[in-house]
């Protein structure tokens, strides 16, 4: 990134993209094959879809960057978001005739520094 501090609502997409890029690199370094990034359909969006040891993994990426919001990024994955990710994953599986494959729903939590470098990254396998 540019090395300049990024703040404000205007840069929310930039922060999200930085967190998703960090998550994808992390997953690749752990032997995952990233199949899709930001897969969209009418029911929603899936941040990352990967394959790992024969399991199709749907990954929700959450980030914070010097935010005054309380809690960790992963704590922002609420019941509504879980339902949305699961329903969107069903569409993905149906469209690819993979309804019977093994799946996992993971969360990757990324804490960003003001320059969008990664301060901390936490992978929660089978989060929901």
pLDDT tens-digit map of 96-108? 999 899 999 999 9
Establish if 30 belongs to a structural domain.
Answer: yes
Look at residue 65 and tell me if it is in a domain: yes
Q: Is residue 72 part of a domain?
A: yes
Residue 2 lies in a domain: no
pLDDT one-digit tens code per residue, 29-46:
999 999 999 999 999 999
Give the helix, strand, coil percentages of the chain, each rounded to 5.
35, 35, 30
CATH code of residue 106: 3.40.1350.10
The verdict on residue 80 lying in a domain is yes
Domain that holds residue 101: 9-124
pTM, to two decimals: 0.86
Residue 31 in domain:
yes
Count of other CB atoms within 10 angstroms of residue 49: 19
Number of separate domains in the chain: 1
**CA 121, CA 68: separation in Å to the nearest integer?**
19
Residue 4 lies in a domain: no
Q: Is 107 a domain residue?
A: yes
* pLDDT at residue 1 tops 80: no
Neighbouring C-beta atoms of residue 28, cutoff 10 Å: 12
pLDDT tens-digit map of 4-28:
554 554 488 899 999 999 999 999 9
């Amino acid at each position: 990134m540019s090395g300049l501090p990024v703040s404000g609502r205007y840069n929310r997409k930039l922060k999200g993209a930085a967190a998703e890029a960090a998550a994808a690199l992390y997953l690749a370094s752990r032997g995952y094959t990233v199949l899709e990034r930001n897969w969209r359909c009418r029911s929603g969006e899936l941040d990352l879809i990967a394959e790992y040891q024969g399991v199709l993994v749907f990954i929700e990426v959450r980030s914070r960057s010097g935010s005054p919001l309380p809690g960790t990024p992963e704590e922002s994955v609420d019941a509504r978001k879980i339902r949305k990710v699961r329903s969107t994953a069903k569409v993905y599986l149906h469209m690819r005739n993979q309804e019977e494959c093994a799946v996992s729903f993971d969360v990757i939590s990324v804490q960003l520094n003001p320059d969008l470098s990664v301060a901390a990254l936490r992978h929660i396998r089978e989060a929901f």
